[in-house]
């Protein structure tokens, strides 16, 4: 078997595939089907006779994790410092009388909101993605309370 050069794959790629003509492509598995990460955007389901899965991305695939950690640190501050803020905020919530009355999705939304608040307090408060995520988690619970589960 030829070794797959994962350095040529998008960071989103989860699998290497071989088409019936021998062409190798990289794809992302979204839980239902594979989506090729090339210009075609082809999709196929497991068992498609034209494609075969030849390899899953190894957990040791060459990635520049240090670059990712450095970039996140520049945006969100040191992970260790942010962790203290986030865990303190979550701990306060868990100690309230109503915590156990919440649904799992309500608890998770509140924990994710605290996570985003921790990133804001420890990192770049002007980064709008954290604020947008807070709105999104709140909206998911509003929708759920009104019968629209997403």
pLDDT, tens digit (0-9, with 9 covering 90-100), for 34-52: 777 666 666 666 667 777 8
* pLDDT at position 1 over 50: no
Between helices 104-122 and 79-94, what is the axis angle to 10°?
A: 140
Measure the CA–CA gap between 136 and 7, rounded to whole angstroms. Answer: 34
Are 17 and 34 in contact by the 8 Å Cβ rule? The answer is: yes
Residues in the chain: 150
Please tell me the predicted confidence (pLDDT) of residue 79: 95
* pLDDT at position 96 over 90: yes
With cut-offs at 50, 70 and 90, classify the pLDDT of residue 56: confident
Please tell me the predicted confidence (pLDDT) of residue 43: 66
Sheet architecture: strand order including 51-56: 43-44, 34-36, 24-29, 15-19, 51-56
Please tell me the predicted confidence (pLDDT) of residue 46: 62
Q: Whole-prediction pTM value?
A: 0.58
pLDDT, tens digit (0-9, with 9 covering 90-100), for 113-150: 999 999 999 999 999 999 999 999 999 999 999 999 88
More confident residue, 51 or 73: 73
Per-residue pLDDT, averaged over 92-120, amounts to 97
């Amino acid at each position: 078997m030829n070794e797959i050069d994962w350095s040529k794959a998008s960071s989103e790629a989860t699998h290497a595939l071989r088409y019936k003509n021998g062409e190798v492509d990289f794809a992302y598995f979204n839980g239902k089907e594979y989506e090729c990460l090339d210009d075609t955007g082809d999709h196929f389901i497991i068992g498609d006779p034209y494609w075969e899965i030849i390899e899953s991305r190894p957990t040791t695939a060459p990635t520049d994790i240090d670059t990712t950690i450095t970039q996140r640190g520049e945006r969100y501050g040191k992970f260790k410092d942010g962790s203290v803020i986030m865990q303190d905020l979550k701990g306060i919530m868990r100690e309230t009388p109503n915590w156990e009355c919440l649904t799992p999705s309500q608890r998770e939304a509140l924990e994710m909101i605290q996570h985003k608040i921790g990133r804001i307090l420890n990192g770049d408060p002007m980064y709008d993605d954290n604020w947008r995520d807070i709105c999104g988690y709140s909206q998911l619970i509003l929708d759920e309370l009104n019968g629209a589960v997403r």
